[in-house]
């Protein structure tokens, strides 16, 4: 679980975000790749582009924005998305004790 870890954009400034409504594009200057995000992914980037947040804060934000079905594992889905974005070099996830 990412809950207590800090989630944010890489500190080198090479990841840029631009949003339109519930969609956004994330550009990685290092790789030259542009990623289209929407829904939950866009909301994760909107939050962390303003300030670094804990995984719990990201989940709280998502729960306030979306009406998830009772059997939907929002935390697991968020964790998987964040891990995928981290693999792509778009997000930085660090242990909260080191932040």
CA 46 – CA 96 distance, rounded (Å): 20
Q: Which domain holds residue 28?
A: 6-90
CA angle 19, 29, 76 (to 5 degrees): 60
Tally of CA atoms within 13 A in the half-sphere of 25 that contains its CB = 6
> Sheet containing 23-28: which strands, arranged edge to edge?
15-20, 23-28, 33-38
pLDDT band at 97 (very low <50, low <70, confident <90, very high): low
Per-residue pLDDT of 37-58, as tens digits, reads 999 999 999 999 999 999 999 9
pLDDT score at 4: 87
Q: Is residue 34 part of a domain?
A: yes
Give the residue-averaged pLDDT of 24-34: 96
**Residue 97: inside a domain:** no
Number of domains in the chain: 1
CB 65 within 8 A of CB 71: no
Residues 3 and 17: their CA atoms lie apart, in Å, by: 23
Residue 98 domain-assigned?
Answer: no
1 is a domain residue: no
Q: Residue 83 above 70 pLDDT?
A: yes
Average pLDDT, the chain: 92
Q: Note the pTM of the prediction, 2 decimals.
A: 0.90
The answer to the question of residue 95 being in a domain is no
């Amino acid at each position: 679980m990412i809950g207590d870890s800090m989630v944010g954009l890489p500190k080198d400034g090479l990841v840029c975000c631009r949003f339109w409504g519930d969609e956004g594009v994330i550009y990685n200057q290092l790789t030259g790749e542009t990623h289209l995000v929407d829904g939950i992914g866009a909301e994760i980037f909107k939050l962390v582009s303003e300030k670094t947040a804990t995984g719990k804060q990201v989940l709280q934000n998502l729960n306030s924005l979306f009406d998830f079905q009772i059997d939907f594992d929002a935390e697991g889905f968020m964790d998987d998305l964040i891990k995928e974005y981290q693999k792509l070099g778009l997000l930085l996830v660090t242990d909260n004790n080191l932040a």
